[in-house]
Amino acid sequence: MPHNPCCDDPNHHHDAPAPPPHPDRPRVLPPGPAAYAEAAETLTAGNLVAMPTETVYGLAGDAGNDAAVAAIFAAKGRPSFNPLIVHVADVGAAEALVHVDDRAARAMEMWWPGPLTLVLPRRADAPLSLLVSAGLDTVAVRSPAHPVARALILAADRPLAAPSANVSGHVSPTTPMHVVEEFPDGGGARLRLILAGGRCAIGVESTVLDLTGDRPLLLRPGSVTREELESVLGPVDVATAADGVKAPGMLISHYAPGLPVRLDATTVGDNEALLAFGPDQFLRGGAVRLNLSNNGDLTEAAANLFAMLRALDRPGLSGIAVMPVPDRGLGIAINDRLRRAAAPRT
């Protein structure tokens, strides 16, 4: 057997063995009939399942079970006044929970299933936990397009409350391993399973539109843009801080990495990370750099946003410098998330 000289070297430090995974670490399952059946049983028992959607991974629980909804809040460390989105299979399932007017019906016909959440008046007999609405008389509802999310909703045969599967204020997850990183202990042992559906195609949360007033109110921008909404619904107002927290994602400090974020960067420090957009060959410096889209594609940038923010959020760096992103189309949603990531922590 060849002699290994390092074994005789008293100054050699062998790598310590990796610590064992936490006993409550959630299991990652590939999608399929057996996985859907097990996940449905997990939800029925009041526990949580992470599921992929076309936007980001969601932390799903039975929306009619107070304990399950409370477990979502507890796992995320989420402020109690921030409502949760309820995910349903189709328009008929939504109509059992909320009042659907002509505007909502047109929006559902156009964008459901898909990345549009509608805030609508809650039905008095809606079989939902009051915690879902965080004390409001409205419900945010969405029918996701991702086949794994749809299969899980049908298998569970119930509406699912499913905010993004991350600790509140952290960057949203777009891969199964992001969820594992966020909840290595299973969110206090309540997150039992992660259904692995690959990387999320869109990569930013759904557009949220409030249809409870006389005019539609855009609460959170997303991949369904204001211009697209107005082509179907007429004029759409944009929410301000004065509108209060009516829906998920409206807290000022949200989607935030641990490092401070500096926007509209035209220079980068030697100890900063750079989140670039488009050709960045004229920028020098930076300890590490990633590019949302080398050719300036906003769709590609949105899909990369949260994963790259996570990858750049490294100990030992002074911050993350972010190059300007055009404030048009999907860039509006990207800039909204970046402003929240850069805002003072709340």
**Which residue ranges make up the annotated binding site for ATP?**
78, 82, 138, 164, 172, 220, 255
Helix (H) or strand (E) holding 28: strand 27-29
pLDDT in the model for residue 323: 95
Question: Is 139 within 8 Å of 124 (Cβ atoms)?
Answer: no
**Which residue ranges make up the annotated binding site?**
55, 78, 82, 87, 138, 142, 162, 164, 172, 206, 220, 255
128-142, 159-173, 250-264, 279-293: which range is least confident on average?
250-264
**Which residue ranges make up the annotated binding site for L-threonine?**
55, 87, 142, 162, 206
DSSP 8-state assignment for residue 30:
-
Residues above pLDDT 90, as percent of the chain: 66
pLDDT in the model for residue 340: 84
User: What confidence tier does 70 reach under pLDDT thresholds 50, 70, 90?
Assistant: confident
CATH of 261-342, one of 3.40.640.10, 3.40.50.11030, 3.60.21.10, 3.50.50.60: 3.40.50.11030
- In angstroms, how far is CA 239 from the centroid of its own chain? 20
Q: Please list the residues that pair with 227 across neighbouring strands.
A: none
pLDDT in the model for residue 81: 61
Residues above pLDDT 70, as percent of the chain: 86
**In terms of pLDDT, which residue wins out, 46 or 70?**
46
**Thinking of the domain 27-243, which architecture would CATH place it in?**
Alpha-Beta Complex (3.90)
pLDDT in the model for residue 2: 43
**pLDDT at 189 exceeding the cut of 70:** no
Name which of 205, 200, 201, 227 is nearest 216 in CA terms.
227
Tell me the torsion sign for CA atoms 90, 170, 338, 280: negative
Average pLDDT (53-61) is 97
**pLDDT at 246 exceeding the cut of 90:** no
User: What confidence tier does 23 reach under pLDDT thresholds 50, 70, 90?
Assistant: confident
- Condensed to tens digits (0 to 9), the pLDDT of residues 82-122 reads 789 999 999 999 999 999 999 999 999 999 999 999 999 99
46-60, 100-114, 231-245, 294-308: which range is least confident on average?
231-245
User: What confidence tier does 242 reach under pLDDT thresholds 50, 70, 90?
Assistant: low
**pLDDT at 255 exceeding the cut of 70:** no
pLDDT in the model for residue 315: 93
Question: Is 111 within 8 Å of 135 (Cβ atoms)?
Answer: no
The answer for residues whose C-beta is within 8 angstroms of residue 341's C-beta and 6 or more apart is 171, 254, 255, 256, 257, 261, 309
pLDDT in the model for residue 19: 52
pLDDT in the model for residue 50: 98
**pLDDT at 3 exceeding the cut of 50:** no
Domains of the chain, residue spans? 27-243, 261-342
User: What confidence tier does 245 reach under pLDDT thresholds 50, 70, 90?
Assistant: low
